[in-house]
Amino acid sequence: MNVADGGIRGTGASVGPVSGFGSVFVNGIRFETDGSVASDDGITREDQLDEGMILRVEGQWRADGGGTAELVEYDDTFRGEVVIVSETLDPDDSSIRESVTFTVYGQTIIADKQSVFKGLSLQTIDSGRFVRVSGWRLPDGRYRASYVGSLEVSLDDVEIEGRVDDNSLDAGLNRFSINGLPVEYDNTTTFGDGLTERDLNALGLVVEVEGRIGFVGGASGLIASNIEQDETRRYQRGDDDDIEFAGPVTTAFDDADSTFTVNGLTVMVPDDEVFEDGLTSEDLQPGLLIQVEGRFLAGGSVEAEEIAIREANAEVEGPIDQASIDFSNRTFLVGGVRVQVTPLTIISDDDNDQRIGLADLNGAFKVEVEGIERSTDGGEVFLEATKVEREVEDDSGREFEVTGRLGAIDDTTVTVLGVQIWAEDGETEFDGIQRDQLMADFESGERPLIEVDYVEQPAGSGNFVAGEVEQEDESSGS
């Protein structure tokens, strides 16, 4: 954003997942806070927050990467019991989940490797668990989890969001339904954000409902204590014009008027200069996770000043090279891949509820890094981490797995994320594709998405040898 007098870059609202603490980092800005949090979900202090929770911070943010918060708000998207619907498994190891789809009282939620888990993990979440979820509504009505945390079971304190079923309102019985779940209200129910009972008849209305599980018309349903506007209220204009926010694209870029929508906001793109790091208007397709900085216009739309991708498109897994950790530049190596930690990076450990940072990776740890492939002006490729998940290193040795776009290929090697890996016929298995086909695709200008399992031989030598090269399904991402 434009830098104003005194170095203030913006005065308004910043909405996005927490990526760190001391005080809180949101959208890459470290906001100084007074430690308090406005919420009706049992969270009143900053020390009760977790990475991945989506906050609205009102205040000022500066060009130096710091800011001052005047208000920090948090609201669960869901709170309730999990029912597992489906899972996507690692094609090479059916015991490992790539993602999981579950419901909370009929509302569908997708969690994947970029989601943050506390008190459970992507591998252990199962039917019957009681969780809180912070996430975004997707164009198809499902939700994408930014955060999933374990809670004690409490059927008297649940929360859902969702679209009110068309023509489901029965004002005589004080009932309506959300995706088939019956909801009942009475004269003790609070309607917030200016909503009224009459609004429940509006086609396409999406609401948030808090209450308790009970019998509604002889079936299990939700008895509402509070009904208000859904999560899009986080993104509404406050007292100031500036806003920065993260979320998935709702409707694709429209060339006719140079706009797209995200989080209930219409975003106007004044020119291609607002796109960062190679992102283009053609990339703005439904579901893509992005970050926007801009300014509210008189009609309520947002004129973008910066648009950047937040969707991970590459990953690396394996033990950290401890000697490579550079605390001043916030980088380290995993299997030869240079990982860059930024203020947007979430560092977590699903098996440890304590907050951790870069310094806590200095040990015998294995990590799984989700991130975005970047390159320096000099052409050096690196992985900008969106999430680093720490695990205790096992006895598997110097084994690594990298997924990314093919960067180079010849008769004996493949290069991914800047790492040249020996992949010789007869020694390396090419799964589902032949080397000749990969070379032909690359020479024609394509950059196939591949996964490489490899080892360092001998340890510490920087000599990497592939055991398997596999072309990934483009539709499933990294």
Looking at the structure, tell me whether residues 203 and 297 fall in a common domain: no
Question: Which helix (H) or strand (E) is 111 found in, with range?
Answer: strand 107-112
Question: Which helix (H) or strand (E) is 469 found in, with range?
Answer: strand 464-471
Which distant-in-sequence residues (6+ apart) come within 8 Å of 200 by Cβ?
164, 169, 176, 207
What's the mean per-residue pLDDT of the chain? 92
Looking at the structure, tell me whether residues 99 and 172 fall in a common domain: no
Tens digits of residue pLDDT in 51-69: 999 999 999 988 888 999 9
For residue 4, name the pLDDT band (cuts at 50, 70, 90). Answer: very low
Looking at the structure, tell me whether residues 468 and 384 fall in a common domain: yes
Looking at the structure, tell me whether residues 348 and 459 fall in a common domain: yes
Q: pLDDT value at position 120?
A: 93
Looking at the structure, tell me whether residues 23 and 86 fall in a common domain: no
Domain count, the chain: 5
Q: Does residue 3 have a pLDDT over 50?
A: no
* Integer Cα distance of 31 and 69 in angstroms: 6
Tens digits of residue pLDDT in 415-442: 999 999 999 888 899 988 889 999 999 9
Q: pLDDT value at position 363?
A: 87
Looking at the structure, tell me whether residues 277 and 260 fall in a common domain: yes
Which distant-in-sequence residues (6+ apart) come within 8 Å of 342 by Cβ?
28, 330, 384, 385
243: tokens are 């806003």
Looking at the structure, tell me whether residues 417 and 453 fall in a common domain: yes
Looking at the structure, tell me whether residues 444 and 377 fall in a common domain: yes
236: which DSSP letter?
S
What pTM, to 2 d.p., does this model score? 0.92
Tens digits of residue pLDDT in 271-280: 999 999 889 9
Angle at 124 between CA 122 and CA 130, to 5 degrees: 95
Looking at the structure, tell me whether residues 325 and 432 fall in a common domain: yes
Q: Is 201 helix (H, G, I), strand (E, B) or coil?
A: helix
Region 455-461 average pLDDT: 88
21: which DSSP letter?
E
Tens digits of residue pLDDT in 189-223: 999 988 999 999 999 999 999 999 999 999 999 99
Looking at the structure, tell me whether residues 54 and 141 fall in a common domain: no
Looking at the structure, tell me whether residues 68 and 94 fall in a common domain: no
Looking at the structure, tell me whether residues 372 and 457 fall in a common domain: yes
Of the residues 266, 287, 309, which one is the last residue of a structural domain?
309
| CATH number of the domain within which 272 lies | 2.40.50.140
Of the residues 74, 102, 130, which one is the last residue of a structural domain?
74
Tens digits of residue pLDDT in 299-353: 999 999 999 999 999 999 999 999 999 999 999 999 999 999 999 999 998 677 7
Q: Which domain holds residue 280?
A: 241-309
Share of the chain above pLDDT 90, in %: 83
Q: Does residue 170 have a pLDDT over 50?
A: yes
| CATH number of the domain within which 379 lies | 2.40.50.320
Region 108-123 average pLDDT: 95
